[in-house]
Every structure is written in structure tokens, then in C-alpha cells.
Structure 1
């Protein structure tokens, strides 16, 4: 690992890459029919696990700690709701909401030592508190931003962002099974309520995903702990963490197949975009773990979890036209200012 002088630089660069990739990883899927999301979840998680295999080989197979898999289970549980969230309130608004609650949960658990972890200190705690508080304020601002998501209709623009070479060109551009999921059967009034609620729940689960890794690292310093001598390098746990993600998603998909009486809704056109989305997410998470190691989770969490919302909102405004209207634009600008200020306060609290 880099020296103490360059560690913060590595951490902030890792944060920047993670923010960009997290804010863009669902973009390849946006114009594909993903159904209820269960098949997509499994494809995405398979790609994540393959990235973990490569990283694990590069790191020369560090010791596998099964407890680190629990964080992957928590993440996979929260990720089930992603497709319904995007269908109800859109990619930009959904990511902004779950990112804010992700930031708050991850920051608080690290700062105050929840779940049996040691509380993490920073040189300037006041700035750290202000940064986390602004992330919470931004979440409430995002709740007032209205997104335009077509309900039970076939959108005019269904051109995929990835070129389809394998799919039959004569395939109907508006599939007959579109609108058959439980999300599409919701009323317009319930769309926003369900989408925002699921985004909050997913954000809380996402914010807890690194707790097992941080717990192992904290207890590795105790001679009487079963984790005594465990690695302090966060990337050493990526294989266990991603394995937990893949195993949990596989269990959920098998349960889904049973519930669907062995007739799951598969969407072949979403396989390659879903795989690409999983790879982008996995690389972003590896960068996040590097940032945790260089900056500590109490600094990296508010930056990495809040920043992707800005990137996703830009996609929502300029590419997908989900967020429109002067009022929404002004609210977005206010939210951006608040969340950027919060990220800067959090970053400077480490200096």
C-alpha cells in the first residue's frame, strides 16, 4: 500500500472513480425491459462474483473470512428493490434517495461504533458532523423532486444504449409482457410512495453492507478474538463479500423460480447490459474499499454514497428526460449545492 503521505490522494482518487461508476452502472440497462428484476439481479451478481475472482487472484488469495459474506447478503437483499425503484420513481431520483440514506447509515455506524465496532475519530469532528447532516438534508430535498416515468405505456424511445446483435430484429419493440409485473399494476398515486419507501429501505441496507468487514478489522487487534491477526487491508475481504452477494442472489432467484412454478420471467436482451452493469458496480466497490482503507469509512461513506446521485441525476436530466420543469431543476441545483458542500466538509474533516 502507499505511504502515509500519498494514502489520502489514493483515497480521494478512489472516491472519484467510485462516484462516477456508481452513478452510471445502471445506465446500460435503462432502455431494456428487465421485468420484475429477479433475473437481472442474478446476472448482475454473477458478473460481480467473476470480478471478485480476478481481484482475489491478483491479491494471491488472502484468507477467506466467512463472516464477511454477511455484508454481501445484506447488499443483495437491498438490491432486489432496484428495478421496482427505477420503474416507479426513475434512476436519478431513486439513486439520490437511497444514496443519501446509505450515506447516513454507513457514516453513523462507523462514527459512533454501532454493531460492536470501534468508533472512528477524525481530526475535525465538527466538519464531519456538518457533512453527514447535509447529506440528510439533501435526502429530504430529493423527495420533492418529481420524475416523469411512463406508467403502463410503451415509451416512444426504446432504443437500447447497447447495440443488439443477437436479438431478432423483427422482435416487437414493445413486448407484450411489459406491464405484467406488480410494479406496473400500481396506481399512479402509489408509484411515488412505493418507490420512495423502497429506496429508503435499500439505502439503509446498503449502508450496512461493510459492517462485517469493519467488525473483523476492529476485532483483529484483540488477541482474545477469533479474528485476531486478520488483515487490515479492505480489499482482502472483497472475495468473501462478493461471494455472499452471489450466493444470496442465487438463493433468491431459486426461490423466485419456485414461486413462479418454474416459469420465471427471463429477459435475454438484458443479459449483456446486466453483466456490464455488474462489472461497473464491482469495480466501483473495489475502489470504495480502497478509499475506506486510505481515508476510513467515516470519511469515504458520505462522499461515495452521496456523489453518485449527482451523476445519476445528470443522466436523468440530459439522457432519459426523467426530471423536467423549472421547479425540479431549481430543487436539483439546491440539492447539488447541499450535497457538494457536505462532501467537501467530510473530506476536509480528515485533513
Structure 2
């Protein structure tokens, strides 16, 4: 295997750090804004199993799918070889463990106020505080607790797997671009060259879902004008973070970047909750977040040393 030079590794880990910070912060601009029905799977997941468990399942499957598909060569990709496989396995495992710890971190919100600026970033109250009129998912109330759990878990697992596969087409084209007998022969090996196509796919898919939502709502969608500018800024942060993830994939490979970039944002969101919004308090929460921080750092270091 061709080892990455020091500059590539530095670029990769700096890009990963920027991605972690921005992914952990991109919901801050819309924190005080009523955003209505949310996106495609968040609302039904929250209604059935809660955001805490939902994000845990989603994040774990997202991380493991992205890591494993690159490590073992799923979906027609070339398997990645590393000098220290055990360390890489440990890094991937620690990223999942850190997600489990965040499940036990509780946000404390004063019950005397309903203002959206006090809704936490890490719990389901942040989404439940926004009314989902017209699509209140009352169908979940007609199901048993077991049925709700099954539906919520299936949606969370499916979302995590799909998100974990989001870079597969790019890596597939890059890998087959190295082969003269492939229709992708000569394709660019630089991940950022695929950003426009990747984002265009997101735009077209989002537009389709929005139109379907408008039809379901009988041309009465819940659109909040005050959310447009903060939502745009939130999207810019997400886009920059995604570009950094592309760079990290290029310089480190997905099996290194995925465990780091999927585990870190929860810690950043927790920091916002502690130091800015004052929604996370108590020795127990501080100890849990400290433990999660140590595990995330350990996982990142394990992933880093597995590459060099």
C-alpha cells in the first residue's frame, strides 16, 4: 500500500476536525426558529422511539456502514488495506461506544417557558416543541409500543445505512477509473471534483420530497418565513462540513474519516449545550461528556495510527 505523506495526513485530520465542528454546530442557527415538520425521517423516528435512541441507531449504522464498505470493499469498491487493522477496528468500535454514552446525557430545560430558544440540541424536545400540524403522525398512537419501536428502529437503521452509503458512488467511480477496461476509465481521483454532482443529487431529491409533501398536505405546506435565512446559513455550514468530509475521504480514506466525523459532532453539540445554551448541567452529565470525549479522542488516535 502507498503510504500517505505527512501533508496529506495533516490535511485529512484538519479537514475532519473542521467537519466535526461544523456538523456539530450547523443546527445552532435554527435553534430559536420554528422549523415545522422537520425532514423526511426525523419526525416519525422521534414520535416512535425518540431522538436520543434514534440518533444513536442512525449514527452507529452510518459510521459502521461507511467504515465497513470502504474497509472490506462492499458495493464493488476496492477494499482498503491498512498497516494496522486492529487499531482501525478499535477506532471504529470506540466511535460507536461514544454514541451510546451520549444517549445518557440529559438536557435540563426550564418547564416554565415554551420558548424555542431554550430547546436543547440533543434531545427530542427540540423537535417535539415544533407543532407538526397536518402531519402530526397520529398513526403512531394507534400502534402498540412494540410496533412503534420496530418502525422507529427500522427507519433509523435504514437512514443510517443510506447515509453511510452516500459516498459509495464516488468511491466506486474513482476505483474503477483506475481500470482501463471500465467505462469510468480516466475518472478524476480527487473527491472534491464530485461535490457538484453529489449536492445536485441532494437538491433534486429534496425537491422531490418537498413536492410530495405539498401534495400530501393538499397544497397547504407548513412553511415558516423566519426559518429561511437561518436555514440557509445552517445549510452553508453543512455544505462546508461535507466538503471537508470529501477532503478527508481523499486524504485518509472513508474507513478512517467515517468513525471520526460521525462520532465527533455529538461532542460539539454537547459543548454548545454546556457553554452557550446552559442546557446541560450536573456532575453526572459532565462526567459522561468527559468520558465520551476521551473515547472519541482515543478512537481518532487509533484510526490515525492505523494509517501510518
TM-score calculated relative to the size of structure 1: 0.72
**Which of the numbers 131, 136, 150 marks the counterpart of 1:182?**
136
Distance 1:328 1:201 in 2: 30
Distance 2:30 2:66 in 1: 27
The question of whether the paired residues in 1 share the 8 Å contact of 2:95 and 2:260 is answered with no
User: What's the CA shift string for 1:197-238, capped at 9, x where partnerless?
Assistant: 755543322211101111111111122211111110001111
Give ranges in structure 2 of 5+ residues lacking alignment: 120-128
Distance 2:280 2:154 in 1: 19
User: What's the CA shift string for 1:82-135, capped at 9, x where partnerless?
Assistant: 466689856x88666643432221111110111111110112111111101111
- 1:298 paired with 2:255, answer yes
User: Is the deviation greater in 96-105 or in 241-250?
Assistant: 96-105
CA shift, 1:81, in A, is 2.7
- 1:312 paired with 2:266, answer no
Residue 122 of structure 2 corresponds to: none
CA shift, 1:143, in A, is 3.2
- 1:106 paired with 2:70, answer no
Residue 28 of structure 1 corresponds to: 29
Residue 9 of structure 2 corresponds to: 8
- Judged with a 3 Å threshold, the aligned counterparts in structure 2 of structure 1 residues 259 and 185 are, in CA distance, closer, same or farther, namely closer
Name the SS of the counterpart of 2:24 in structure 1.
helix
- 1:333 paired with 2:293, answer no
CA shift, 1:348, in A, is 1.4
Name the SS of the counterpart of 1:223 in structure 2.
coil
- Judged with a 3 Å threshold, the aligned counterparts in structure 2 of structure 1 residues 104 and 197 are, in CA distance, closer, same or farther, namely same
The question of whether the paired residues in 2 share the 8 Å contact of 1:29 and 1:270 is answered with yes
The question of whether the paired residues in 2 share the 8 Å contact of 1:117 and 1:218 is answered with yes
Distance 1:177 1:131 in 2: 37
Distance 2:223 2:112 in 1: 19
Distance 2:279 2:53 in 1: 9
Name the SS of the counterpart of 1:6 in structure 2.
helix
Distance 1:316 1:263 in 2: 34
Distance 1:155 1:85 in 2: 25
TM-score calculated relative to the size of structure 2: 0.81
**Which of the numbers 72, 80, 83 marks the counterpart of 1:123?**
83
Distance 1:325 1:199 in 2: 29
Distance 2:82 2:176 in 1: 20
- Judged with a 3 Å threshold, the aligned counterparts in structure 2 of structure 1 residues 271 and 281 are, in CA distance, closer, same or farther, namely same
Alignment size in residue pairs: 289
CA shift, 1:196, in A, is 7.2
Residue 124 of structure 2 corresponds to: none
Give ranges in structure 1 of 5+ residues lacking alignment: 39-79, 162-175
Name the SS of the counterpart of 1:269 in structure 2.
helix
Distance 1:233 1:27 in 2: 31
CA shift, 1:330, in A, is 2.9
Distance 1:149 1:89 in 2: 17
Distance 2:239 2:59 in 1: 17
Question: What is the correspondence of 1:152-231 to structure 2 with a 5 Å cutoff?
Answer: 155-159=113-117, 178=131, 180=133, 181-182=135-136, 199-231=156-188
The question of whether the paired residues in 1 share the 8 Å contact of 2:98 and 2:292 is answered with yes
**What CA RMSD, in Å, does the superposition of the two structures yield over aligned residues?**
3.3
The question of whether the paired residues in 1 share the 8 Å contact of 2:37 and 2:132 is answered with no
